[in-house]
Amino acid sequence: LIKPRYRDRFESHYGANSSQYKWLIRDLEAVNRSETPMIIVFTHRPMWHSSSHHPSCSSGGDWYGCEFRSLYSKAFEKFKVNFILGGHAHHYQRSKPMIQGKPVDRNAPRYIICGTGGFKLDHPFNQQRNPDFVAFRQSIQYGYCQVRFINNTHVLWQHVGVSNSPSEILDEAVISLV
């Protein structure tokens, strides 16, 4: 249960009537996709994650992400955001394309967490129990993420592990327009 004062704070700063949300909608509406074919959104807190260190949607956990996704993911789907990059959680995770919180077999927004710069601050995942929406995740080594624009319609997304020498690509995906 989220305490009313925290929900009120969320609503005033990030809710549907907040200046933050209104700005985001105006900004997404103004995008000319012929000039800006890809939209990438950066957030501090992840909207979808599977870490037990910050349990999603629970008091004392990452309830902010749960509140964000109930409102913001609808906007990201409507305006065809390609991917949403978050931090805060100290692991790496890439979702499958998702609509209304469910993985889909078509192009849709993907939610990525690139927080492995501090991976030792979290507990490792139970690698045997990946949620359905997860395409790949890791919490066993330091790493960073990089994106390479292939052309106007495709990017190469990579997560690079750096705990071993030489560093190695642990995850990679070609992401195309939504």
Q: Which residues are catalytically annotated?
A: 54
Strands (E), 15-152: 40-42, 83-86, 92-95, 98-99, 102-103, 110-114, 134-138, 143-149
Residue 145 CA neighbour count, 13 Å, CB half: 22
Residue 48 CA neighbour count, 13 Å, CB half: 31
The rounded distance, in Å, linking the Cα atoms of 91 and 96 is: 17
Polymer length of the chain: 178
Residue 8 CA neighbour count, 13 Å, CB half: 3
Q: Which residues contact 27 (CB under 8 A, 6 or more apart)?
A: none
